[in-house]
Each structure stands twice: as structure tokens, then as C-alpha cells.
Amino acid sequence: MNMRIPILKLHDCLLVSIQWELDDQTALQFQEDLLHKIHETSARGVVIDFTSIDFIDSFIAKVLGDVISMSKLMGAKVVITGIQPAVAITLIELGIHLEGVMTALDLEKGLEKLQRELGD
């Protein structure tokens, strides 16, 4: 049941596409895997895409917020992309604002934003 989320390397960035509903263990495993991958590849940027995800609860949001802060501690900037309208609405109604998190509409715009942020 415990599936791992693939993390792809593209130049100095890591790409992650969350393709299925996250359970707690998968989310926590992803947190660990991403930090190891940043360390291993010296990645400076990460894009996490949520296009296929139709809901995010407070636990997943907390894991996500934490992994963004942890990545920042390791010198990598994270952009989240592909948040669906229904997900944006429920997150805010739930009271979760994920302030200070870089976002973009889709993967392409996310990568562009990251490149600008990284200054190359």
C-alpha cells in the first residue's frame, strides 16, 4: 500500500507530480525522499505539481508546508503548481493559507518562475 512518489531531476531542479490521493505514510515518505534527493543532487529548485489531486486536507497541507520549509533550509526553492479550483476553495475555507509559498498555475509556468527565482 505504501507507494513512493517519483522525483525526477531536470538540470538543477527536481520535478514531482503527485498522481494519486496521498495517505499519511506516503506523504511522510515523500517528505523524507525529497530532502534526500535535494541533498544527493544539489538541486536548487523543486516543482511539485498537484494537477491530478482533487483535495488536500490539513494533514497533507501541513506535510507540504513543512517540506517546503525544510527544503528552504537546505537551500532549495519550492514552487507548487496545478492546484485545482476546488482544492484552492476548500483549503482557504478550511483555514489553510500556505502563506509565503511560491505557486504557479501549471508545471510550465512553475518551471519558468523557478528559473527566474534562481536567476538563470
Partner 1 sequence: MMDSSVKIINEWDIVAARQLGRNVAKELGFGIVDQARITTAISELARNIYLYAGQGEIIIEKVENGAKKGMTIISRDAGPGISDLRKVMEDGFSTSGGLGAGLPGVKRLMDEFSIESTLGEGTLIQSVKWLR
Interface residues with partner 1 (CB under 8 A)?
A: 1, 21, 23-25, 54-59, 61-62, 65, 84-87, 89-90, 93-96
What DSSP letter does each residue of 49-111 carry, written as one string? E-TT-----HHHHHHHHHHHHHHHHTT-EEEEE---HHHHHHHHHHT---TT-EEESSHHHHH
Segment holding 48, helix H or strand E? strand 45-49
**In the bound complex, what is the minimum distance in angstroms from residue 50's beta carbon to partner 1?**
12
Closer of 54 and 117 to partner 1 (Cβ): 54
Helix (H, G, I), strand (E, B) or coil at 1: coil
Closer of 22 and 79 to partner 1 (Cβ): 22
**In the bound complex, what is the minimum distance in angstroms from residue 23's beta carbon to partner 1?**
5
Closer of 78 and 91 to partner 1 (Cβ): 91
**In the bound complex, what is the minimum distance in angstroms from residue 3's beta carbon to partner 1?**
12
Give the cell for residue 10.
531536470
